[in-house]
Structure formats: structure tokens, C-alpha cells
């Protein structure tokens, strides 16, 4: 009896399921499915075409502008990247809006009724909006471009990327620093004009300064013609007191940005070698071991 009851119950459930399936308009479901899939494919193709054509037009426009303008090439490239990103984000937004509409999601109603959720998202997105706005002004004002040597707060290095949200700075040791644009408050750009190179040579005040000056002038006469990075100088400043109480003989010059260290090392080595050859003693700092 128990088996017969279970069998009868199973037959009833099966009949209910069959009646439910028979009541479904399968032709309508199939037609709707084909329509939705077709619209999704159409919107996807249109999205890819619009995105590709738009990015090509942006690239071509900035390439033409780059050839006609006197702005630095890196600045034009940075502006092109910014516009390309803004365009891509805009197209993607409208694409997803269209997809949700095709799927029957009431996007307009959801947006209108967002209310508290929208406020919460707005508060959470304050940092994002601040990053984007700051990034746009950084690029439009030309504070720095890709390839510039900069100091942003406590981070010093070379700009490798300027984005809408973050700026990437590569330090001298190879460290990649990802900085949110809203955290960039003070920018020290060392790539916009010639840079000063100051060479301080330890010197005893008892040395014959006329001989020192003659030796350094000879080095300058030899090295300056083969150092095109020098914009102005070298200028012999003369003796000066160092912070530790010793004396130094200083030489100053201005060089193209990015060439400070190579030029400084080149001239410092030549100065030390020439002074030693002339018999001029270069004092070394004394090690203080305390009492």
C-alpha cells in the first residue's frame, strides 16, 4: 500500500509538471530568446566598432596635432591617453546600459530609486572622483608628463604613466610607485629647464688658489667642448666653508635636465685627477671616534 501511495503521488507531481510545461508558449520563448541574443550580438558589434573607430580618430587627431604644435611629444601622448580613456569609459557605460535594457532590467527605475544606496556609493566614490578630477587638471596644466624626472612628496623618480586615477613613478632603484592622484599636492619637476650642477672640492686654505684655478680652467677647456649637455659654465666660484668646518673650492655649471649626475661625475673625476697630478693635496674628512 505504501508503494502504491508513493507511486500515485509521483504521478500527480509529474502530471502537474507536464501541465505547467504544456502551458508555456515555447514558440514565444524561443522567439524572445532569439531576439535578445540577436540584439546583444548587434550591440556588441556596434560597441566594438564605435570603440575602435573612436580610438583611431583620437589617435589620428593627436598625431596630427603633435606634428603641428610646439608642445612636447610626451605631453601630447599623455593628453591622447587621457582622452582615449575617457572615451572608452563613456562607450562602455552606454554599452552596459543597453545590455541591461535588452535583458529587461529597468535601469531607469533602478537609478531613480537608488536613494540611500546612491548616497552611500557617492560617499565611497569621493576618493575616485577626486583622483579623476586631480588627474585631469594635472594633465591639462602640464604639471608633468611621461619621462619627466620629478619629486612628488617624498618620492623621487621618473614618470612612467599618468592615468585618470593613479600616477606611476619609477625610482632610481627600479621601484614602481603607484600614487593616487588626490595625494599629489606638491610637484617638483626637474625636467622643464636646465639644472644646476655644483661640484665641491675639499681644499686646504693654505693651497695656492691661483694654481688651483689654473688647473681647473685647463680641465674645463678640455672637457666642455666634448660635453654638449652643458648649457652654461663651468664657473669657478672659489673657496667656501663647508658645514663641517672644512673648506671647499666650488665649481658651478648648468646642464640639460637629466644630465646632472653624468656631468657631475665626469668633471669631478677629472678635477681630482688633475689636482693630484699638480701636487695639490685633497684633504679627507677626519673620522671622529669620540672620547
Q: Which of 75, 220, 91 is nearest to 141 (CA)?
A: 75
pLDDT of residue 131: 80
Kindly report the CATH number assigned to the domain that includes residue 209.
Answer: 3.30.70.100
What stretch of H or E contains 87? helix 73-102
Q: Which of 162, 135, 149, 244 is nearest to 195 (CA)?
A: 149
Same domain? For 148 and 168 the reply is: yes
C-alpha cell at 12: 500527480
Nearest-angstrom CA–CA distance, 27 and 228: 80
Reported pTM: 0.50
- The answer to whether 277 and 203 are in contact (CB under 8 A) is no
Kindly report the CATH number assigned to the domain that includes residue 164.
Answer: 2.30.30.60
Q: Which of 138, 137, 158, 152 is nearest to 257 (CA)?
A: 158
Boundaries of domain holding 168: 143-189
In this structure, is residue 19 part of a structural domain? no
Structurally, the chain folds into a number of domains equal to 3
pLDDT of residue 291: 45
The pLDDT tens digits for 227-284 are 888 888 788 888 888 777 688 889 998 888 777 888 889 888 988 888 888 888 887 7
Nearest-angstrom CA–CA distance, 219 and 201: 14
Same domain? For 104 and 31 the reply is: yes
C-alpha cell at 274: 688633475
pLDDT of residue 60: 80
Same domain? For 184 and 201 the reply is: no
Q: Show which of 130, 161, 189 is a domain's final residue.
A: 189
Amino acid at each position: 500500500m505504501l508503494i502504491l501511495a508513493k507511486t500515485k503521488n509521483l504521478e500527480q507531481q509529474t502530471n502537474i509538471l507536464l501541465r505547467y510545461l504544456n502551458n508555456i508558449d515555447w514558440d514565444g520563448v524561443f522567439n524572445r530568446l532569439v531576439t535578445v541574443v540577436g540584439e546583444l550580438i548587434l550591440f556588441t558589434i556596434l560597441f566594438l566598432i564605435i570603440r575602435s573607430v573612436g580610438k583611431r580618430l583620437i589617435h589620428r587627431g593627436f598625431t596630427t596635432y603633435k606634428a603641428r604644435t610646439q608642445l612636447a611629444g610626451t605631453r601630447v601622448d599623455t593628453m591622447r591617453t587621457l582622452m582615449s580613456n575617457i572615451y572608452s569609459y563613456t562607450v562602455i557605460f552606454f554599452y552596459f546600459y543597453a545590455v541591461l535594457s535588452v535583458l529587461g532590467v529597468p535601469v531607469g527605475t533602478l537609478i531613480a530609486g537608488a536613494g540611500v544606496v546612491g548616497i552611500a556609493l557617492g560617499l565611497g566614490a569621493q576618493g575616485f572622483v577626486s583622483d579623476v578630477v586631480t588627474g585631469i587638471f594635472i594633465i591639462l596644466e602640464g604639471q608633468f608628463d611621461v619621462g619627466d624626472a620629478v619629486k612628488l612628496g617624498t618620492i623621487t623618480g621618473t614618470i612612467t604613466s599618468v592615468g585618470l586615477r593613479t600616477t606611476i613613478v619609477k625610482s632610481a632603484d627600479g621601484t614602481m610607485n603607484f600614487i593616487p592622484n588626490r595625494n599629489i599636492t606638491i610637484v617638483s619637476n626637474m625636467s622643464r629647464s636646465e639644472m644646476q650642477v655644483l661640484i665641491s672640492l675639499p681644499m686646504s686654505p693654505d693651497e695656492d688658489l691661483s694654481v688651483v684655478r689654473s688647473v681647473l680652467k685647463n680641465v674645463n677647456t678640455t672637457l666642455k667642448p666634448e660635453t654638449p649637455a652643458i648649457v652654461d659654465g663651468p664657473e669657478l666660484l672659489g673657496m667656501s666653508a663647508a658645514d663641517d668646518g672644512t673648506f671647499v673650492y666650488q665649481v658651478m655649471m648648468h646642464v640639460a635636465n637629466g644630465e646632472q649626475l653624468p656631468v657631475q661625475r665626469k668633471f669631478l673625476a677629472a678635477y681630482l685627477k688633475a689636482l693630484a697630478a699638480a701636487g695639490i693635496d685633497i684633504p679627507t674628512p677626519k673620522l671622529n671616534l669620540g672620547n
